[in-house]
Amino acid sequence: MAYAQPGRYWLRDETEHERALAYLTTGTAYQLTLHDENTRYVLVACPPGATS
């Protein structure tokens, strides 16, 4: 699927996974921004009860 291309590197990025977990376990939202030729994707994960 062409629309999945920007995020494929993230699936193998163990360092970035650790960073996401660190954010979420401290109650902070994690944001990932991906780009392709024509679109910008912004993914946000918020831990339960987070206000940020």
pLDDT in single tens digits along all 52 residues of the chain: 666 777 888 888 999 999 999 999 999 999 999 888 888 889 999 988 766 5
Please provide residue 33's backbone torsions phi and psi, each rounded to the nearest 5 degrees: -115, 125
Q: What is the spatial distance between Cα 16 and Cα 34, in angstroms, rounded to a whole number? A: 13
pTM of the entire structure?
Answer: 0.73
Closest to 3 (Cα-Cα) out of 39, 45, 33: 39
In this predicted structure, what is the pLDDT of residue 32? 93
In this predicted structure, what is the pLDDT of residue 1? 64
Q: Residue 47 burial by CB count (10 A; 0-12/13-18/19+): exposed, middle or buried?
A: middle
In this predicted structure, what is the pLDDT of residue 50? 64
